[in-house]
Amino acid sequence: MRRAALSLFVLLLAANAQAAIVHVVVDGIIHPISAELVGRAIDEGAKTNADLVLLELRTPGGLEDSMRDIVQKMLKSRVPVAVFVSPGGSRAASAGFFILEAADIAAMAPGTNTGAAHPVLYGGEKMDDVMKAKIENDAAALMRSVAAKRGRNVAVAESAVRESKSFTDQEALSQKLIDVVAADIPSLMSSIDGRNITRFDGTHLVLHTKGRQLVDFNMTLKQRLLGTILNPNVAFILLVIGALAIFAEFNHPGAVVPGVTGLICILLAAFALDILPTRFAALILLFVAFALFALEAKFASHGVLGIGGVICMVLGGVLLIDSPIPEMRVNLPTALAASVPIGFIAVFLMTLVLRARHTRVVTGQEGMVGEVGIARTALEPEGKVFVHGELWNAVAKAPVPEGANVRVIAVDGLQVKVEPV
């Protein structure tokens, strides 16, 4: 009897464990880290036999490859996936619209918008008519495929791709682009509870969401770090700080710390720039900026070269990431805030180096050169001189009488070479 009761208790616990909704938030640009996060959340939902994976989405768009990766994972998911554009004022634009339409349940909060999904070629290249048509047709075909399978308005969904149309939450609902408008997550869960949906593979499923436990699925430390680095502003700051640190290491060989720090920063920036749509011509502007900073310290240009360096660095930062989405570009305030201080620091460091190179040595044997002393004996040409607080053997270029002033012109072991002052 006890064994039966224990078994029943375990089964009840298992049922409660299954009666959960995996909640994951994607807030920002769609990139490989976003795709990895969504994929892991879907895998977690399958592993725990969750009732639903809820993707709360707010994005201006992002990279096509990452968007397609997310869509594929959603379509293959054993657990139904709901995408909820929330809270009010958010959007699921461009790549976000594809993700919204690919969901088993597409939902939006009041005051949100979606659409504007026309594909754009990154990298600064201008598309010819044939390439433009190929890319547009490919994106439109994907939209038709997912919208038709989900029972949504194919023609209107395709217009967001071909004509960059955008829709408010009510427009999307009335034109059958989404399934429900809900104020918040509890309202959404109540609205879709008991709804019969058709999965992408044609199977039917009744959703059970009301009162289910919401389990947040968060980024790992690695994903948070990489997601931060993929912010174009952060990538730019890492790049210029790394370049400044390497610049300092070359000017002060053996310091080690600037070199190691600079190498790490540049490698992290390279990781981000390899994924983001980077204009490599902008990198040349950044290198020119540091060259101008070095010249400013060497030549008296009254700040002209330094200002030119700051301008090159600002332009290089603003043009570094080529994207039609403002969130995927380096902001002008960030470029200015990084460029001006780094310009001053670079000029200051180079000035110190040049001053050190032109400063006369005052210690050791080299420090003796140029010192003035007194001949303690006549130098004809050898004798004794008192210089630098010490009595030295000396040899003179010309005869020097006792008591005359002499100047050291060279040091040869324990003997100095002098000349009369």
> Residue 411: CB partners within 8 Å, gap ≥ 6?
365, 366, 368, 369, 417
Omega before residue 381 within 30° of 0, cis = yes
Q: What is the pLDDT of residue 10?
A: 43
Backbone conformation region of residue 151, classed left if phi is above 0, alpha if psi is from -120 to 50, else beta? left
Per-residue pLDDT of 192-217, as tens digits, reads 999 999 898 888 999 999 888 999 99
Q: What is the pLDDT of residue 352?
A: 65
Q: What pLDDT score does 1 carry?
A: 46
| Superfamily name and number for 366-420 | Nucleic acid-binding proteins (2.40.50.140)
For the chain, which ranges sit under pLDDT 70? 1-19, 121-128, 251, 297, 300-302, 324, 349-367
The pLDDT assigned to 231 comes to 87
- Compute the distance between CA of residue 9 and CA of residue 12 in angstroms, rounded to an integer: 5
Query: Residue 386: which H helix or E strand, with range?
Result: strand 382-387
Q: Where are the beta strands (DSSP E) in 123-224?
A: 166-168, 180-181, 196-198, 204-206, 213-216
Residue ranges of the domains in the chain? 14-222, 231-358, 366-420
Q: What is the pLDDT of residue 166?
A: 94
- Residue whose token pair is 């603003």: 318
In the chain, pLDDT over 70 holds for what percent of residues?
87
For residue 14, the model assigns a pLDDT of 45
Q: Identify the pLDDT of residue 353.
A: 61
Nearest-angstrom CA–CA distance, 310 and 301? 14
Fold of 14-222: 2-enoyl-CoA Hydratase; Chain A, domain 1 (3.90.226)
Instruction: Tell me which residue of 313, 242, 327 sits closest to 276, measured CA to CA.
Output: 327
**In 3D, which of 421, 366, 248, 240 has the Cα closest to residue 313?**
240
**Number of CB atoms found within 10 A of residue 374's CB:** 14
Structure tokens at 79: 């657990």
